Amino acid sequence: MVSKKYVHGVGMTKFSVDDRTTMSMAYEAITDALNDASMGIDDMGAIVISNSDTKVNDERQRHYSPLLASLVRRKMPIIRVPAVCGGGGTALWSALRLKYDNVLVVGVDKVAAAPTNLITKEIMAAGENMWEQDEGLIFPAQNALVAQQHILKYGTTHEDLELIAYKNHYNGSLNPKAPFYGKKVSLEDIRKGPMIATPFNLFDCSMTVNGAAAAVISSDPSDVEVMGSGLATDYIAPFERDDMTKWDSTINAGTDAFKQAGIEPSDIDVVEIHDAFSIVELIAYEDLGFCKKGHGKDMIRKGIVNLDGKLPVNTSGGLKARGHPISPTGLAQIYEIVEQLRGRCGARQVKSAKYGLAHNIGGAGGTCAVNIFRKR
């Protein structure tokens, strides 16, 4: 980042499997964010949009910048910054570097609109396709291997991962934007989940949904400041890495964001982590510096990351229970952090949070964006 930036407004649709067009969802999230900012589209200098170029929906569209110009009826500079599941956080990182008074950031995707095999093929395109995905190492299998390594090396157990899923489902049941709002999932349900890839069962995996989320950022001060924004990449295939139990992109993006913010992990009060799979959340506790390497299990065993713990993680329900619509996910995290800092989260509100962090990943850690916010 170059100069101080602030969040003026956030907006999002309910995440669901409803069959809506991307532009209908984008319109709702944009309007919601602009209203929240008490601004209009003419106040925006530029737009950054992140969305996947999905092969699974029926929109046959790749040129989203002018499609958005048509939607908002303004011929302004618009860039598209996709980064598969890490698109939302990467779009914010990019928008913070543009020199306009106000920039609108939008993430939108319609993925849960096709047969499962097509969705799987689409998501496989976010990974390595010569040695991994096409040989059967699709994302659940890939992340299961990561979990196996972590279990082997650090004594983490599947019970730890079940507690993470339970926590996130509990939080999601309190979030009106989540598809399972109001629906409780018991630890027993989670333990009995159908096996997916050892050690994962269904409840270790996030939910594919459709949706949109947006934010208005500005050079003018507001009640929420963006303190740091880090972006990093890693080699695309986990097989290229020496140690699968640490994710360099999380470490590097986090280190950069904390350096910009001038604060320590221990200063953070509320966190959204990219729990595409339960193990990813546990490893991120470690890689973001909230505990030492190998001690992620203690964070969940001791309840530190619970809603009433010292460091609540995924108060929104996370990718697990608020759902994961690909590109909007990173901006939905920012929606949650901003609303928590403002104290507007109702039943899932944490107490007196001053600093919040959003951690958004693309692929198996191929891209990571970490953004840190402060209540002023």
Q: Binders of its own copies: how many residues, by CB under 8 A?
A: 56
- Residue 244 binding its own copies, by CB under 8 A: no
SS3 label, residue 84: coil
Nearer to its own copies, 334 or 369 (CB): 369
**Hey, how many other C-beta atoms are within 10 angstroms of the C-beta on 308?**
8
- Residue 220 binding its own copies, by CB under 8 A: no
Nearer to its own copies, 59 or 189 (CB): 59
Nearer to its own copies, 47 or 345 (CB): 47
**Active-site option among 150, 274, 324, 359:** 324
Q: At what angle do helices 22-37 and 64-72 cross, to 10 degrees?
A: 60
CB of 79 to its own copies, least distance (A): 6
CB of 279 to its own copies, least distance (A): 19
- 251-270 binders of its own copies (CB under 8 A): 252
Residues whose CB is less than 8 angstroms from the CB of residue 363 and which lie 6 or more positions away in sequence, other chains included? 84, 85, 86, 126, 127, 236
Nearer to its own copies, 230 or 296 (CB): 230
Binding mask 52-71 for its own copies (x = CB under 8 A): xx-x---xxxxx-xxxxxx-
d(CA 60, CA 67): 12
147: amino acid identity, one letter: A
C-alpha closest to that of 216 among 6, 8, 13: 8
CB of 127 to its own copies, least distance (A): 7
Q: Tell me whether residue 205 is one of the annotated catalytic residues.
A: no
Strand order in the sheet with 355-362: 78-80, 46-50, 102-109, 211-218, 5-12, 224-233, 367-375, 355-362, 270-272
183: amino acid identity, one letter: K
d(CA 368, CA 376): 26
Name the token pair of 1: 């980042």
Binding mask 88-107 for its own copies (x = CB under 8 A): --x--xx--xxx--------
| DSSP states of 225-293 | EEEEEEEEE--SSGGGSS-TTS-HHHHHHHHHHHHHHT--GGG--EEE---SBHHHHHHHHHHTTSS-T
CB of 248 to its own copies, least distance (A): 6
Tokens 């010569």: give the residue.
130
Binding mask 335-374 for its own copies (x = CB under 8 A): ---------------------------xx--xx-------
d(CA 245, CA 346): 36
Q: Interacting stretch for its own copies, rule CB under 8 A, among 162-170, 199-207, 230-238, 349-357?
A: 230-238
**Active-site option among 8, 85, 169, 359:** 85
Q: How far is CA 354 from CA 263, 345, 348, 349, in A?
A: 12, 14, 16, 13
- Residue 328 binding its own copies, by CB under 8 A: no
Q: Tell me whether residue 274 is one of the annotated catalytic residues.
A: no
Supply φ then ψ for residue 79, to 5 degrees.
-120, 155
Nearer to its own copies, 135 or 223 (CB): 135
Nearer to its own copies, 53 or 267 (CB): 53
CB of 186 to its own copies, least distance (A): 36
- 106-165 binders of its own copies (CB under 8 A): 121, 124-129, 133-134
Q: Interacting stretch for its own copies, rule CB under 8 A, among 206-214, 235-243, 273-281, 343-351?
A: 235-243
Residues whose CB is less than 8 angstroms from the CB of residue 140 and which lie 6 or more positions away in sequence, other chains included? 196, 197, 200, 205, 277
Nearer to its own copies, 289 or 309 (CB): 289
Give contact residues for its own copies (rule: CB under 8 A).
2, 52-53, 55, 59-63, 65-70, 73, 75-84, 90, 93-94, 97-99, 121, 124-129, 133-134, 231-237, 240, 248-249, 252, 362-363, 366-367
Instruction: Name the residues annotated as catalytic.
Output: 85, 324
